[in-house]
Structure 1
């Protein structure tokens, strides 16, 4: 309790900084510190130490060294914490990252910091604390798997929201799985729920090296979806939902006027629909509480239906792919489009997990266990 009070005091005392200096996500810290103080307290000592160190850095070089070490340690500590506590809680890392970025944005170090330098340091924090600097495959396994999860989202609707895909990313990173004598090492990355990051090519930057070199055996993107597990057969190109991202940006696409996303200030290239290549038959054999669907459902400007082949979508305009019209569908589309462009043969596709209403550790434990089982079953087909 004392730790929580100290954390809340630290959070609120620093909130005297004009909120205009903060991102939309950082502005939610004030509400979260009251609603879920124990979550924000999880890394309070680490953040306090980081703030002390930040105030004392004398040069940009010292700042980059600090951010490199701190962001990597935050990711490592979050993984260790969720495994040791068996809490199935991805929220702690999400809010710790925002508390840390708030320090950078609102507290002056002991040297003149330019806007460009600040942006670079914030990017370092993002990359390190999301696992992007921790992607080395170091185990002597037969196969290599890359998996992505997402941050919690729709936090204005429920500040207590968790995301099973993020829990899976934290728990499975660095793990070795095996099935019928075949072993695989899993590496994971946590992805932000922000349109701008996608438009700036965050997914392409992450995945291009793997597709270019064909040096992993499967790429699986994961997000929270509906009532059951859905393996999304036909991701669509366009955005068509009115739900905001975590920056409270609504892209503007609708069911009658779906919009094409951007890639580095140009319209995202590629066909309206693509087809995933995960080993469906094997993955559907994974035992667990939830049914695993091979989801063919899509919506085009003309109709909603369940095509059996990609050829049936040849002249269609995408409204919703198998994964919908939001970023969970889009990460799947972008990864598969890039795979095809780079002539890679890495099996790639999206798993939509069952939906949770807030933080539901018992349900999330079952979801992660079944995701792991899906990955294990898939090994015989890779």
Structure 2
């Protein structure tokens, strides 16, 4: 059986032909193992358990449940690690890719078709991102759903961390009291992949949330600029000339912005939408970084400017929303658009954390401290 252990390392076990069956993300595993072996091997016991159980599995009906269980186990262990003071989101990302590789390369005790492998891969993806672990306690009076992102731009910095992903791990299940009410935060991790967005990953996650209306706030988080930015006017279109984690480029740029897709069709909606987070309360928080209510947008007609109102942006073509022209802007746009389409009253918006090159546990921990205070201030308004 294939073993992923610190002693042998991934170079021993994964330098088999990867490109035939795996994607660009998986192909980075050997380089990542060389650069940060301790990060890559941190959850090797969980990955090995998946390998053993998968190859021994004889029940075709139970294999998907088993794979999902191991994916959820990976997510929960990463959450426990960060909660106990090990501030590192990267092991979760790379261990998930190890699991994907195993499912593509290995064979259970029964024969398996390609379409079945795809189902298993999706099961481990969903479970290891916290999608199957959104559970609010019965006594939670204020409920917040927060999303973070995987590390990205890994061909620039293979050791890159993502403070928003760190936030998702640090805040999953986080409970506190404000104004005598019990608050609980649940979180999920979002992939940095255009295809997942086009396939409706955000709509699939949030549709039941907005229909149910029992959650009080949806906060999408990503890594951004120099300070904390709360993005007031997300734009509809993609315009960033930047690859996703599979090195996919959309072909869009600032002269030729492109709308995203949803289930094969163009995502229909206004060029700009507006957040509904309690920004004034959030900005009362004092911390290491400034907290900006960012009104800056870019349109084809006027270029880059500070918009004072949503009405000012009517009859404009979005190039960049306040959150930019990449997936961080898009997740906010999709969330707010869906909230409006479903007539939900849930406060929704996006927070950009300060930018971080590579990995710095102390700085990221300080970001989480300030973000917790910001969310506490927001919860106090509910």
Please say whether Structure 1 and Structure 2 have the same fold, judged by a TM-score greater than 0.5: yes
Q: Does residue 107 of structure 2 align to residue 125 of structure 1?
A: no
- In structure 2, distance between residues paired with 1:344 and 1:374: 23
Helix, strand or coil at the partner of 1:60: coil
Q: Is the 8 A contact 2:141 2:182 kept in 1?
A: yes
Structure 1 residue 178: Cα displacement: 2.2
Structure 1 residue 5: Cα displacement: 4.0
Q: Is the 8 A contact 2:81 2:87 kept in 1?
A: no
Q: Does residue 222 of structure 2 align to residue 214 of structure 1?
A: no
Structure 1 residue 58: Cα displacement: 1.4
Equivalent position of 2:339 in the other structure: 339
Q: What does the per-residue CA deviation read over 1:293-351, in whole Å, with 9 as the maximum and x for residues that have no partner?
A: 00000000022111111000011000000000000000000000000000111100000
- In structure 2, distance between residues paired with 1:313 and 1:77: 45
- In structure 2, distance between residues paired with 1:65 and 1:214: 29
Structure 1 residue 139: Cα displacement: 4.5
- In structure 2, distance between residues paired with 1:287 and 1:113: 56
Equivalent residue runs for 1:123-272 within 5 Å: 123-272=122-271
Structure 2 unaligned segments of length 5 or more: list them.
Answer: none
Report how many aligned residue pairs link the two structures. 378
Say which is worse superposed, 55-64 or 222-231, in terms of deviation: 55-64
Helix, strand or coil at the partner of 1:146: strand
- In structure 2, distance between residues paired with 1:99 and 1:332: 30
Q: What does the per-residue CA deviation read over 1:258-291, in whole Å, with 9 as the maximum and x for residues that have no partner?
A: 0010000000010000000000011111221000
Q: Is the 8 A contact 1:273 1:313 kept in 2?
A: yes
Equivalent position of 1:376 in the other structure: 376
Equivalent residue runs for 1:278-317 within 5 Å: 278-302=277-301, 303-317=303-317
Q: Does residue 7 of structure 2 align to residue 6 of structure 1?
A: yes
Structure 1 residue 213: Cα displacement: 1.7
Q: Is the 8 A contact 2:151 2:162 kept in 1?
A: yes
For normalisation by structure 2, the TM-score amounts to 0.97
Equivalent position of 1:22 in the other structure: 22
- In structure 2, distance between residues paired with 1:222 and 1:7: 36
Equivalent position of 2:63 in the other structure: 63
Cα-Cα RMSD: 1.2
Helix, strand or coil at the partner of 2:340: helix
Structure 1 unaligned segments of length 5 or more: list them.
Answer: none
Structure 1 residue 211: Cα displacement: 0.8
Structure 1 residue 7: Cα displacement: 4.8
Structure 1 residue 180: Cα displacement: 3.0
Q: Is the 8 A contact 1:7 1:41 kept in 2?
A: no
